């Protein structure tokens, strides 16, 4: 008896089965001719081709390789991200120990120390985009890691605005590539479900830095004020934190691999093939070393690109402002420098706990935009409390301040979401870069709306943050609805090719669930006369998400 799926008679005749397979081949070929993307095969595709085009990995092998990847890829990313946060936050810690008075900062000069680094990051985005395509990722990350640690150490020698500004500009130059690099590395190594957890893992290291950094700053401040010293507290903070970062550079160079195709820890048996086969279901490829202008222009025309762009502007205006002025806001509650710096420690705890809860819920309900919107609401209320509560209500102000720090979870969740919804090396790099441009714009604006004449209340800055979070809520809902529309469009496209419309995204399933679904799907497709391998044969062909009919958007 003939079976119909989505209105298509899959078993009508042998001729129809042949047509189904050939239609899929014709469409893939049309993409190759139209875009030229698939003439630039990933290194991964070449390795798999030598192995016969397909390699079947057991669930046990996949889990074993995942543990190895976590050790050699995720751990060094977490370390680097933590170190970057130390150096980035050093100016905030230094401000609590009278950086402004010691260096003669007046007016908006301190605000510019928070903004200038992001302006240079913005200017260097085109360089970073090209570098991530052409240079080995590990080499590029380690070069910048060593460079910005040296710059942080040198900041300790600055005694005026010009010296501090120069160092912060250089810090922005060398830190510009870290987050885009890590997004690309995560996409190369992990399935899309794993991607979310690992993106959150290295973002959680921000929370760890938020707990350890204030403790180190407290110790340095105590050591340089309680006994005679030629080094002022703010100088000691810069020198010590920069030295810590520099000392970790050799370890990161030794651990972090460039890609699954060259990783030295994948040397035994079929380990490299298993690592590549694991990520085939992403349909995003790994990395090709050629720039594709067709993918660039597709990215610029894609509405998703600009929704991400504005979402990151909205989330980073508050991040840049509160990240720079958080210490001064709490010091304005009436605390001294040491109590103020200790009060920053719970912000790291908040980041870690809320991120863990949020990513757990996200992967259970598999809808990301709802979780992000849910977190925005209490942040808006807490910021309003900081604006309107009287200074006599100390408990209320402290509670509002810590609630506002839920903002530290929004950006990591958005990165974990955005990097699941683009495919093609050039498109991913350009998307990441434009997201980072939006982040830089937001972080540049953020400190500027905290006016020195309004200290310690900073009403203009906090009201601007409230407006930004409202904008984030609206664009986040819009993105969720648009991705749902694109998935329906992909279903119609698969039907036109004779494929089942309702495919489930194995890349966001657990390993066991994915194995069970893969077995069920394979059996169902064989009954329909379709070769399952064809579903993923374009996974490493460097097709974009719009070119690949099998790609499924994560809502």
In tens, the pLDDT along 389-406 reads 888 888 888 899 999 988
pLDDT at 538 over 90: no
- Distance from C-alpha of 99 to C-alpha of 95, rounded to nearest angstrom: 5
Using the CB atoms, write b or e for 463-480: b if 16+ within 10 Å. ebbbebbebbbebbeebb
Examine residue 547 and state whether it is found in any structural domain, yes or no: no
What is the mean pLDDT of the segment spanning 343-348?
84
- Distance from C-alpha of 220 to C-alpha of 376, rounded to nearest angstrom: 35
Examine residue 128 and state whether it is found in any structural domain, yes or no: yes
**β-strand partners of 9:** 4
Which region among 125-129, 170-174, 175-179, 536-540 has the lowest average model confidence (pLDDT)?
Answer: 536-540
Q: How many residues does the chain have?
A: 555
Examine residue 208 and state whether it is found in any structural domain, yes or no: yes
What is the mean pLDDT of the segment spanning 49-75?
79
Predicted local confidence at residue 30, as pLDDT: 42
- Distance from C-alpha of 498 to C-alpha of 537, rounded to nearest angstrom: 16
**β-strand partners of 8:** 5
With DSSP H G I counted as helix, E B as strand and the rest as coil, what are the percentages for the chain, rounded to 5?
75, 0, 25
- Distance from C-alpha of 519 to C-alpha of 100, rounded to nearest angstrom: 64
Report the 10 Å Cβ neighbour count for 336. 9
**DSSP H/E element including 544:** none
**Range of 122's domain?**
59-487
Examine residue 47 and state whether it is found in any structural domain, yes or no: no
Given a contact cutoff of 8 angstroms between Cβ atoms, the answer to whether 143 and 197 are in contact is no
Report the 10 Å Cβ neighbour count for 526. 11
- Distance from C-alpha of 340 to C-alpha of 346, rounded to nearest angstrom: 11
| Total domains, the chain | 1
pLDDT at 203 over 80: no
Given a contact cutoff of 8 angstroms between Cβ atoms, the answer to whether 188 and 287 are in contact is yes
Q: Which of 175, 150, 23 is nearest to 85 (CA)?
A: 175
Given a contact cutoff of 8 angstroms between Cβ atoms, the answer to whether 398 and 333 are in contact is yes
Question: How confident is the prediction for the chain on average, in pLDDT?
Answer: 79
pLDDT higher for 466 or 341?
466
In tens, the pLDDT along 220-274 reads 888 877 666 678 888 899 999 999 999 999 999 999 998 887 888 887 778 888 8
**β-strand partners of 5:** 8
Predicted local confidence at residue 25, as pLDDT: 45
The CATH number given to whatever domain includes residue 139 is 1.20.1250.20
How far CA 504 is from CA of 55, 170, 339, 360, 527, in Å, comes to 21, 46, 52, 20, 18
Examine residue 7 and state whether it is found in any structural domain, yes or no: no
Examine residue 376 and state whether it is found in any structural domain, yes or no: yes
Q: What percent of the chain has pLDDT over 90?
A: 22
Examine residue 419 and state whether it is found in any structural domain, yes or no: yes
Report the 10 Å Cβ neighbour count for 512. 10
Tokens standing for residue 208: 């760890």
Examine residue 394 and state whether it is found in any structural domain, yes or no: yes
What is the mean pLDDT of the segment spanning 142-170?
92
3-state per-residue secondary structure call for 287-319:
CCCCCCHHHHHHHHHCHHHHHHHHHHHHHHHHH
pLDDT higher for 212 or 11?
212
Given a contact cutoff of 8 angstroms between Cβ atoms, the answer to whether 90 and 209 are in contact is no
pLDDT at 163 over 50: yes
pLDDT at 293 over 80: yes
Given a contact cutoff of 8 angstroms between Cβ atoms, the answer to whether 432 and 417 are in contact is no
Instruction: Tell me whether the omega of the peptide bond preceding residue 456 falls within 30 degrees of 0, making it cis.
Output: yes
């Amino acid at each position: 008896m003939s079976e119909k799926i989505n209105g298509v008679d899959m078993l009508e005749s042998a001729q129809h089965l042949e047509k189904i397979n050939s239609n899929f081949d014709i469409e893939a070929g049309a993409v190759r001719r139209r875009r030229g993307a698939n003439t630039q095969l990933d290194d991964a595709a070449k390795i798999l081709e030598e192995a016969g085009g397909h390699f079947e990995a057991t669930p046990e092998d996949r889990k074993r390789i995942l543990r190895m990847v976590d050790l050699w890829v995720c751990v060094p990313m977490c370390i680097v991200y933590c170190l970057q946060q130390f150096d980035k936050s050093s100016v905030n810690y230094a401000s609590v120990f009278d950086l402004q008075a010691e260096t003669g900062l007046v007016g908006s000069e301190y605000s510019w120390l928070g903004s200038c680094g992001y302006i240079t990051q913005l200017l260097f985005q085109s360089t970073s985009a090209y570098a991530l395509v052409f240079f080995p990722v590990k080499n590029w990350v380690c070069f910048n890691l060593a460079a910005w640690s040296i710059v942080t150490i040198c900041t300790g020698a600055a005694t005026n605005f010009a010296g501090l500004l120069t160092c912060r500009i250089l810090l922005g130059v060398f830190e510009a590539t870290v987050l885009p690099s890590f997004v690309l590395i995560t996409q190369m190594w992990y399935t899309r479900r794993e991607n979310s957890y690992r993106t959150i893992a290295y973002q959680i290291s921000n929370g760890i830095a938020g707990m350890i950094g204030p403790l180190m700053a407290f110790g340095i401040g105590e050591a340089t004020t309680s006994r005679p010293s030629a080094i002022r507290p703010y100088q000691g903070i810069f020198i010590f934190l920069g030295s810590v970062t520099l000392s970790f550079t050799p370890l990161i160079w030794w651990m972090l691999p460039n890609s699954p195709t060259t990783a030295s820890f994948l040397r035994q048996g079929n380990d490299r093939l298993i690592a590549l086969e694991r990520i085939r279901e992403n349909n995003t490829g790994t990395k090709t070393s050629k720039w594709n202008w067709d993918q660039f222009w597709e990215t610029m025309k894609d509405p998703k690109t600009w929704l991400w762009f504005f979402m990151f502007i909205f989330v980073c205006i508050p991040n840049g402002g509160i990240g720079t002025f958080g210490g001064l806001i709490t010091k304005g509650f009436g605390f001294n420098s040491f109590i103020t710096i200790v009060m920053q420690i719970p912000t790291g705890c908040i980041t870690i706990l809320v991120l863990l809860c949020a990513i757990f819920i996200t992967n259970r309900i598999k809808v990301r935009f709802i979780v992000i919107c849910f977190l925005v609401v209490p942040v808006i209320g807490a910021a309003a409390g900081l604006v309107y509560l009287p200074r006599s209500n100390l408990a209320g102000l402290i509670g509002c301040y810590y609630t506002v720090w839920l903002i530290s979870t929004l950006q990591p969740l958005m990165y974990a979401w955005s990097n699941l919804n683009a495919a093609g090396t050039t498109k991913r790099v350009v998307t990441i870069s434009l997201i980072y441009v939006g982040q830089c714009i937001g972080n540049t604006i953020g400190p500027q709306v905290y006016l020195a004449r309004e200290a310690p209340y900073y009403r203009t800055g906090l009201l601007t943050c409230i407006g930004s979070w409202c904008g984030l809520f609206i664009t986040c809902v819009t993105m969720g609805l648009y991705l749902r529309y694109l998935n329906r469009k992909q279903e119609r496209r698969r039907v036109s090719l004779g494929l089942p419309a309702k495919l489930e995204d194995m890349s966001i399933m657990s390993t066991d669930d994915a194995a069970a679904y893969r077995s069920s799907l394979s059996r169902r497709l064989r009954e329909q006369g379709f070769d399952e391998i064809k579903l993923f044969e374009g996974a490493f062909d460097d097709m974009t998400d719009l070119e690949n009919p099998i790609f499924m958007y994560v809502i």
